[in-house]
Amino acid sequence: MKHNTQIIFLVGFLFSIPIALTSYLNSSFLSTFINEKSVGIIYALASLSSIIALLLAPKIWRIIGGYKFLLLIAFLDIVSLLSFSIVKNSWSAVITFIVFFSLNTLIVFSLDELLKIFSKDSATGTIRGIYLAICSSAWILAQLASGTVLGEFSFRGIYMLGFLVMVLF
């Protein structure tokens, strides 16, 4: 069981990097395609989409299993990150963002469920605390890297870097 939690810790770290790389850039990136005043509406739509996805996730989880579910949404997340680096029009950017946002929520849900499955009840708090600390360290490293990458490349470079890290996931 300890081995399984260590794998989830590593996967959580790897997943946190592309999320952290893109989280502070998404609104600026979207505003290159749409009016800045509309970005908030897009975030609201993405949040609504995430809620709907979370309502459906447990049913899909039970049908195909947690591992296959995580692999499926991770693959789709990789595709959405790659799509961000090549989108050319506003509709593609908006749809890609909404899908990306929702998939990230589903990945967090899946990793949390897997962590719960592989945790002993008596150690759940400790294990989740360690997991959150590891994921938070990825956020710190990603923020340091994003400044460097953004200085050399455009937004698309950040999304491509996120894509490459997500492939490792």
Distance of alpha carbon 45 from alpha carbon 43, whole angstroms = 5
pLDDT digits 0-9 by tens, 5-61: 888 888 888 878 888 877 877 888 888 888 888 899 999 999 999 999 999 999 998
What pLDDT score does 122 carry? 60
Q: Can you tell me the mean pLDDT for 72-97?
A: 88
* Residue 99 predicted with pLDDT over 80: yes
**pLDDT band at residue 169 using 50, 70 and 90 as cut-offs:** low
93 or 167, higher pLDDT: 93
Q: Can you give the C-alpha Rg of the chain in angstroms? A: 16
Q: What is the pTM of this model?
A: 0.82
pLDDT digits 0-9 by tens, 85-97: 788 888 998 999 9
Question: Which pair of structure tokens corresponds to residue 33?
Answer: 């395609």
Residue with tokens 């593609």: 92
Residue with tokens 């039970």: 62
Beta strands in 42-156 (DSSP E): none
* Residue 140 predicted with pLDDT over 80: yes
